[in-house]
Amino acid sequence: MAPEPLRPEKALTGGRSVFRLDGRTALVTGASSGLGAGFARLLAAAGARVVLGARRLERVEALVDELQGGGAEALGVRLDVSDDAQVTAAFDAAEARFGTVDTIIANAGTAAGGRSTEVAESAIRSVIDTNLLGTYLVAREGARRLIAGGSREREHGRILFIGSITARQNHTGDAAYAATKIAVAHLARQFAREWARQGINVNTVQPGWIHTGINDEWTRSEQGRAAIAALPRKRLQQPESLHDMVLYLCSDSSRAVTGATFTIDDGQSL
């Protein structure tokens, strides 16, 4: 007898995850590449309707075509998370197509590498506006609509922030990025407390070093290679190592989990 074909959700999660998202509508920010694109594929494979938001709309639309070709329901929207008007417009488009967004992955982020004495003010502002302000605006807009849509009674609101282990470490070259990531983790706890009785769970996942577009130049540099060699397992983390936790925190199974910060870093912060 031929083996059973591997279902998409099993392929994306290493075959272990039991968490399904059927009936959910999810918005993923920073979905044009890297972790965000992976999360969009993950949630779609688990049964969610997925709204993909990013500044690079053409790349998002290519991914939408891919997901729809696999039978998923997906929508691409142009979204600069630091622009409140664009955040509102993205949620408007999502509601018009799929109804209230009940699952949010605030993933959009940027970095400004270099010694703190040399990084330009404009670069610092870009990091703060994208990583912290953008996360705030997206979560706030999502919570407003969830509350209006009856999340208090249904307890179905799920908001997940993507942080970083740099929030727990001190390195030369990423001061602004690290500061925003520890701020994001605390913001999640603040929102979790504020919305606890509104049926909205807010949590943070802190990955270790994963090769993405943000850190591509660093990972190929002499400094980056030396840093990777010094890690306990001497390797970068694989994006798929986050997937089971992400699905759990987006699912109905995580009803009792809010205000938590999960460090999933392949032992890099040991």
- Tell me which residues are annotated as active site: 177
Q: Which residues, in sequence order, are bridge partners of residue 237?
A: 210
Strands (E) across 109-214 are located at 157-162, 200-207
Residue in the block written with tokens 């849509």: 149
d(CA 128, CA 266): 27
List the helix and strand counts (H, then E) for the chain: 11, 7
d(CA 72, CA 46): 10
- Provide the 3-class DSSP secondary structure of residue 25: strand
Q: Which residues of 165-191 are buried (b: 16+ CB within 10 A; e: fewer)?
A: bbbbeeeebbbbbbbbbbbbbebbbeb
Write the CB contacts of 174 (distance below 8 Å, at least 6 apart in sequence). Answer: 111, 113, 166
- Provide the 3-class DSSP secondary structure of residue 57: helix
